[in-house]
């Protein structure tokens, strides 16, 4: 609820975001303390904060969910999950997951030669599975079979039939018995953004006729026992549990028939797809939500598989899942500083045209009448049409030389005045009823643009690419009612560089309510759930590189908790500044300009040399003083070694910023 503005001395109503890594009753710390630590370490924003305990907790949660479903159902197999490292290959992330998964024989999945080199180095547990997905060449296959030479459970998953003879040939050359996985193209498939991962026209997997041919090939060579695993993946972010169950049903029947044909399949791999509720509605209707939780997922998979195995009278296989998103999404938070706003039709702009002057043109007077007569919501449609028509008329007259620039500016200012008057009626969902769509659209477009120091293409690429919604929240001032309807614009020179889809009102909205910036004060917002795919797929658009990072652990790890999640609440007690609650284990510096230059094959030294040559020739010609030239050269040099993002820009007041 709205609170009175905080008194400057009272931290109790500070409204800063608290982190409760062990749930609301466990230890807690203040995200603003983390921000202070980041500043003290001389790191600039934007900055990723990784809560490594959360990764650990997600691994435990998933494994325990399957193990508890298996034990409560008396299921005949066990669970052997794998983490697909493509979802986040960062060393610290993989380290943490492997360590947390050790008691569960949790394995890894690779989709390329590069990933396989990592996975072979990290997955040394002979009981844990290594899944090799993706298209494979001879080298990939030799690398995978090297794992078999070491006695590990490295399963080469056959994605297309033509791979099979090569795998068998190379295995025989290397004198090793391969572990084969057969990936099936199921007819069941997910819906939404990743729909095309499944179904008859999917990129990977064997059709049923191909599967039959694979069985023949194995039988011809007496290698039926090498087929150890059956695999399918019907898409990421499965929003409905119904789809999961249908896929398991279809896959389980195929498994049963293959077993009856004599294949020695021991593992049933349901792929990835376990969702993340990015918008918190648990609805499953929006691609950013889902209608089930991890326990329900595990239970339904095991139950459905068991039922079909019993019906078909075949052994109950070990269950493998390849969840990536649900393991890594929660652990990463991108903290971004806001350094200014852009407001269309600002109160100042409107105030400047609100008083009539002598000899105003007729169109200006008529526009004034439209503003004056807009007194209630019921007049929205009519007033909006009139205002638009008047604005168009003013433009035509201006083009014909019949309207002065001053009068046209007044018409525009008054047009924004009409739009601003309408805005309260377009804000809440219930009020939007009977408001014309164009009026709602213009109100959304008139949202303030908060200038945020980050690149959407580096930090939340899925928002740009596939309209994925991420929770975005101010990290402080949470006891003050946010009054500015806003969108976020990033610092790339790209009109697509904006976030205009937010979690609001138990769903999504095109705008987010943010606080008015205070002169001389930083304003931080957090972009949550960015640990899956975003970290890895981000690109160098505009040469904005990788972000600074800090890795955080809570003081003490408690083994017995069920669910470790980052839970945001509003601080209602004074901050006790307890340094035991968390510690920064590691700092990873983000890219400097020189790092990004190097990646694009520029030589930073060569650029410095070129700049020095230009400065020298300017000094020689007398257009630069030597001292000034040297200082400029040093400045250029320091820029090559600086962070790629904007440096400590603090909002001061309207249109002014300070470094």
Single residue of 178, 273, 413, 471 touching ligand PLP by CB under 6 A: 273
Q: Is-contact 6 20, C-beta < 8 A?
A: no
DSSP 507-545: EEES-EEEPPP-TT---EEEE-S-TTTHHHH---GGG--
Q: Between 287 and 497, whose beta carbon lies closer to ligand PLP?
A: 287
Q: Is-contact 594 642, C-beta < 8 A?
A: no
Q: Give least dist CB 76 to ligand PLP, A.
A: 25
Q: Between 163 and 485, whose beta carbon lies closer to ligand PLP?
A: 163
DSSP 9-57: T-STT--PEEE-BTBTTS--EEHHHHHHHHHHTTPPSSEEEEEHHHHHH
Nearest partner of 301 among 134, 77, 54, judged by Cα: 77
CA distance 211 to 187: 14
Considering only the stretches 18-26, 148-156, 270-278, 300-308, report the one whose residues sit in contact with ligand PLP under the rule CB under 6 A: 270-278
Single residue of 21, 107, 181, 271 touching ligand PLP by CB under 6 A: 271
**CB-nearest residue to ligand PLP:** 272
Q: Give least dist CB 234 to ligand PLP, A.
A: 10
CA distance 126 to 143: 17
Q: Give least dist CB 208 to ligand PLP, A.
A: 19
∠ CA 290-134-173, rounded to 5°:
145
Q: Is-contact 516 484, C-beta < 8 A?
A: yes
Q: Between 53 and 109, whose beta carbon lies closer to ligand PLP?
A: 109
CA distance 102 to 557: 16
Question: Which region, left, alpha or beta, applies to residue 313 given φ > 0 means left and ψ of -120 to 50 means alpha?
Answer: left
Considering only the stretches 143-151, 231-239, 399-407, 453-461, report the one whose residues sit in contact with ligand PLP under the rule CB under 6 A: 231-239
Q: Between 255 and 415, whose beta carbon lies closer to ligand PLP?
A: 255
Q: Between 18 and 323, whose beta carbon lies closer to ligand PLP?
A: 323
Evaluate the omega torsion of the peptide bond into residue 147 and state whether it is cis, within 30 degrees of 0.
no
CA distance 495 to 255: 50
Q: Between 233 and 390, whose beta carbon lies closer to ligand PLP?
A: 233
H or E stretch including 487? strand 484-489
Q: Between 203 and 658, whose beta carbon lies closer to ligand PLP?
A: 203
Q: Give least dist CB 426 to ligand PLP, A.
A: 36
DSSP 194-232: GGGGSSTT-SSSB-HHHHHHHHHHHHHTT-GGGEEEEE-
Binding residues for ligand PLP restricted to 278-307, rule: CB under 6 A: none
Binding residues for ligand PLP restricted to 185-214, rule: CB under 6 A: 197
Q: Give least dist CB 388 to ligand PLP, A.
A: 45
Q: Between 77 and 271, whose beta carbon lies closer to ligand PLP?
A: 271
Q: Between 328 and 380, whose beta carbon lies closer to ligand PLP?
A: 328
Q: Between 87 and 256, whose beta carbon lies closer to ligand PLP?
A: 87
Q: Give least dist CB 269 to ligand PLP, A.
A: 9
- How many other C-beta atoms can be found within 10 angstroms of the C-beta atom of residue 400? 8
CA terminus-to-terminus distance, the chain: 35
By CB under 6 A, is residue 63 in contact with ligand PLP? no
Q: Between 13 and 536, whose beta carbon lies closer to ligand PLP?
A: 536
Single residue of 49, 62, 70, 87 touching ligand PLP by CB under 6 A: 87
Q: Is-contact 499 26, C-beta < 8 A?
A: no
413 Cβ partners below 8 Å, 6+ apart?
A: 345, 349, 350, 352, 353
Single residue of 218, 274, 371, 594 touching ligand PLP by CB under 6 A: 274
Q: Give least dist CB 328 to ligand PLP, A.
A: 8
Which pair of tokens denotes residue 389? 């028509």
Q: Between 205 and 629, whose beta carbon lies closer to ligand PLP?
A: 205
Q: Between 233 and 318, whose beta carbon lies closer to ligand PLP?
A: 233
Site track for ligand PLP across 390-429, x = CB under 6 A: ----------------------------------------
Binding residues for ligand PLP restricted to 582-601, rule: CB under 6 A: none
Q: Give least dist CB 134 to ligand PLP, A.
A: 8
Q: Give least dist CB 493 to ligand PLP, A.
A: 32
CA distance 147 to 493: 47
- How many other C-beta atoms can be found within 10 angstroms of the C-beta atom of residue 392? 10
Which pair of tokens denotes residue 95? 């380290």
Binding residues for ligand PLP restricted to 513-552, rule: CB under 6 A: none
Q: Between 273 and 497, whose beta carbon lies closer to ligand PLP?
A: 273
Binding residues for ligand PLP restricted to 423-482, rule: CB under 6 A: none
Considering only the stretches 229-237, 543-551, 609-617, 638-646, report the one whose residues sit in contact with ligand PLP under the rule CB under 6 A: 229-237
By CB under 6 A, is residue 272 in contact with ligand PLP? yes
DSSP state of 184: B
Number of residues that bind ligand PLP (CB under 6 A): 16
Q: Give least dist CB 107 to ligand PLP, A.
A: 12
Considering only the stretches 43-51, 54-62, 267-275, 589-597, report the one whose residues sit in contact with ligand PLP under the rule CB under 6 A: 267-275
Q: Between 110 and 443, whose beta carbon lies closer to ligand PLP?
A: 110
Single residue of 21, 46, 81, 84 touching ligand PLP by CB under 6 A: 84
Beta-strand runs (E) in 579-626: 582-588
Binding residues for ligand PLP restricted to 316-375, rule: CB under 6 A: 322-326
CA distance 562 to 567: 14
Q: Give least dist CB 78 to ligand PLP, A.
A: 20
CA–centroid distance for 45 within its chain: 18
DSSP 393-429: HHHHHHHTT-S-HHHHHHHHHHHHHHHHHHHHHHHST
Single residue of 28, 236, 455, 469 touching ligand PLP by CB under 6 A: 236
Binding residues for ligand PLP restricted to 100-159, rule: CB under 6 A: 133
DSSP state of 330: G
Considering only the stretches 268-276, 282-290, 404-412, 568-576, report the one whose residues sit in contact with ligand PLP under the rule CB under 6 A: 268-276
Residue 7, class by beta-carbon neighbours within 10 Å (0-12 exposed, 13-18 middle, 19+ buried)? exposed
CA distance 63 to 57: 10
CA–centroid distance for 591 within its chain: 20
Q: Is-contact 358 70, C-beta < 8 A?
A: no
Q: Between 316 and 328, whose beta carbon lies closer to ligand PLP?
A: 328
Single residue of 185, 228, 233, 410 touching ligand PLP by CB under 6 A: 233
Q: What residues make contact with ligand PLP under the rule CB under 6 A?
A: 84, 87, 133, 197, 233, 236-237, 271-274, 322-326
């Amino acid at each position: 609820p709205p609170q009175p503005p905080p008194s400057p001395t009272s931290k109790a109503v500070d409204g800063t975001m608290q982190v409760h890594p062990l749930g609301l009753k466990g230890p807690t710390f203040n995200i603003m303390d983390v921000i202070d630590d980041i500043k003290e370490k001389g790191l600039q924003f934007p900055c990723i904060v990784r809560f490594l305990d959360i990764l650990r907790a997600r691994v435990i949660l998933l494994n325990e969910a399957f193990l508890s479903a298996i034990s409560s159902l008396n299921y005949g197999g066990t669970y052997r999950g794998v983490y697909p490292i493509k979802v986040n290959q960062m060393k610290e992330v993989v380290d943490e997951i492997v360590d947390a998964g050790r008691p569960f024989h949790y394995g890894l999945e690779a989709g390329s030669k590069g990933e396989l080199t990592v996975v072979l180095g990290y997955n040394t547990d002979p009981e844990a599975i290594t899944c090799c997905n993706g298209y494979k060449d001879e080298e990939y296959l030799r690398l995978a079979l090297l794992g078999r030479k070491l006695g590990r459970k490295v399963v080469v998953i056959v994605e297309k039939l033509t791979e099979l003879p090569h795998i068998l040939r190379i295995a025989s050359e290397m004198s090793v018995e391969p572990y084969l996985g057969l990936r099936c193209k199921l007819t069941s498939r997910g819906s939404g953004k990743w729909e095309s991962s499944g179904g008859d026209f999917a990129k990977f997997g064997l059709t049923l006729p191909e599967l039959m041919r694979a069985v023949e090939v194995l039988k011809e060579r007496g290698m039926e026992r090498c087929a150890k695993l059956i695999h399918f993946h019907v898409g990421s972010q499965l929003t409905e549990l119904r789809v999961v169950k249908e896929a398991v049903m279809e896959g389980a029947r195929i498994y049963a028939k293959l077993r009856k044909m004599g294949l020695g399949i021991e593992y049933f791999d349901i792929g990835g797809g376990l969702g993340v509720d990015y918008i918190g509605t648990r609805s499953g209707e929006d691609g950013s939500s889902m209608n089930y939780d991890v326990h329900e997922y595990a239970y339904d998979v095991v139950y459905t598989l068991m039922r079909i195995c019993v019906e078909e009278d075949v052994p109950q296989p070990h269950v493998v899942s390849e969840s990536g998103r649900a393991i890594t999404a929660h652990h990463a938070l991108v903290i971004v500083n806001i350094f200014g706003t852009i407001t269309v039709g600002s109160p100042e702009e409107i105030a400047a045209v609100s008083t009539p002057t002598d000899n105003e043109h007729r169109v200006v007077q008529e526009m004034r009448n439209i503003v004056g007569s807009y007194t209630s919501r019921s007049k929205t449609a009519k007033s909006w049409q009139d205002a638009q028509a008047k604005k168009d008329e003013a433009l035509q007259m201006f083009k014909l030389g019949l309207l002065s620039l001053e009068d046209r500016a007044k018409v525009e200012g008054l047009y924004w005045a009409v739009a601003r008057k309408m805005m309260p009626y377009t804000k809440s969902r219930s009020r939007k009823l009977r408001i014309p769509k164009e009026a709602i659209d213009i109100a959304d477009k008139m949202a303030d643009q908060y200038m945020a120091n980050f690149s959407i293409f580096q930090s939340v690429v899925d928002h740009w690419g596939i309209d994925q919604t991420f929770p975005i929240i101010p990290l402080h001032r949470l006891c003050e009612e946010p009054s500015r309807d806003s969108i976020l614009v990033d610092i790339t020179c790209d009109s697509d560089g904006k976030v205009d889809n937010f979690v609001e009102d138990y769903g999504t909205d095109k705008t987010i309510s943010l606080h008015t910036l205070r002169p001389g004060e930083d304003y931080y917002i957090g972009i949550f759930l960015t640990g899956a795919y975003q970290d890895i797929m981000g690109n160098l658009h505009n040469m904005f590189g990788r972000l600074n990072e800090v890795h955080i652990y809570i003081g003490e790890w408690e083994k017995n908790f069920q669910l470790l999640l980052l839970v945001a609440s509003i601080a209602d007690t004074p901050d006790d500044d307890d340094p035991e609650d968390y510690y920064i284990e590691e700092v990873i510096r983000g890219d400097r300009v020189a790092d990004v230059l190097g990646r694009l094959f520029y030589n930073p030294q060569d650029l410095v040399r070129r700049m020095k040559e230009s400065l020298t020739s300017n000094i020689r010609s007398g257009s630069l003083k030597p001292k000034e030239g040297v200082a400029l050269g040093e400045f250029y040099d320091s820029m090559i070694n600086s962070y790629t993002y904007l440096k400590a820009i603090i909002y001061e007041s309207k249109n002014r910023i300070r470094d």
